[in-house]
């Protein structure tokens, strides 16, 4: 990590671990399933390599920081995980019709609601951690085709801090969820942490 020290990686990983852990609690309440999220794996990646572990398409969640921090945090989910989460949110057991069908506007709406609650919990955890008001916009959720995807103009960064978590939802999901911070945003978070100490 030429531009990113081990100390910075450890700090971002720990902050992300706390905020994702808070999100997991919200997820548990929504889905009625035990949620386990493992210790994060942090790396620095170029934008062209970010989605190399995903096939064909995936779900991209964008969250804009609007107070306390400024920039865009992104989460990437596998389609099959989004389908199972949607099925659970629709009151099924995670193996029902929504877990089998193609991603539809209903799936996007359900994931938007889940992410809205999860990211709100994450922002609250960060506010407590930094003793500073951290606000976010409601998340935007879309299914993207990987070979056609281009990063939006409002995310000009070439380098991103990638944080991979292993996500388990009961016996239904054993997968990876990826969180992405543009390098400048990750640097701002690290500086906030330093000022706290």
CATH code, 187:
3.40.1550.10
Domain presence at residue 35: yes
Q: What is the pLDDT of residue 19?
A: 84
Least confident of 93-107, 113-127, 148-162: 148-162
pLDDT band at 64 (very low <50, low <70, confident <90, very high): very high
Domain presence at residue 114: yes
Domain presence at residue 60: yes
- Domains of the chain: total: 1
Domain presence at residue 1: no
Domain presence at residue 165: yes
pTM of the model: 0.90
Domain presence at residue 98: yes
Q: Tell me the β-bridge partners of 43.
A: 162
pLDDT band at 1 (very low <50, low <70, confident <90, very high): very low
Residue 73 is part of which domain span?
6-196
Domain presence at residue 185: yes
């Amino acid at each position: 990590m030429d531009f990113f020290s081990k100390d910075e990686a450890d700090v971002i990983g720990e902050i992300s671990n706390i905020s994702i852990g808070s999100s997991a609690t919200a997820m548990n309440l929504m889905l009625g399933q035990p949620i386990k999220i493992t210790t994060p794996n942090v790396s620095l990646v170029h934008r062209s390599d970010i989605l190399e572990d995903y096939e064909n398409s995936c779900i991209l969640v964008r969250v804009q920081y609007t107070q306390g921090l400024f920039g865009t945090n992104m989460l990437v989910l596998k389609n099959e995980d989004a389908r199972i989460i949607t099925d659970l949110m629709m009151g099924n057991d995670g193996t029902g019709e929504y877990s089998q069908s193609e991603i539809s506007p209903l799936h996007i709406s359900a994931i938007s609601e889940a992410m809205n609650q999860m990211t709100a919990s994450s922002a609250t955890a960060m506010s407590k951690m930094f003793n500073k008001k951290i606000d976010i916009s409601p998340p935007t959720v879309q299914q993207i085709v990987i070979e056609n995807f281009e990063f939006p103009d409002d995310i000009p960064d070439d380098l991103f801090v990638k944080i991979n978590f292993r996500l388990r939802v009961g016996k239904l999901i054993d997968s990876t969820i990826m969180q992405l911070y543009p390098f400048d945003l990750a640097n701002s978070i690290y500086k906030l942490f330093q000022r706290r100490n």
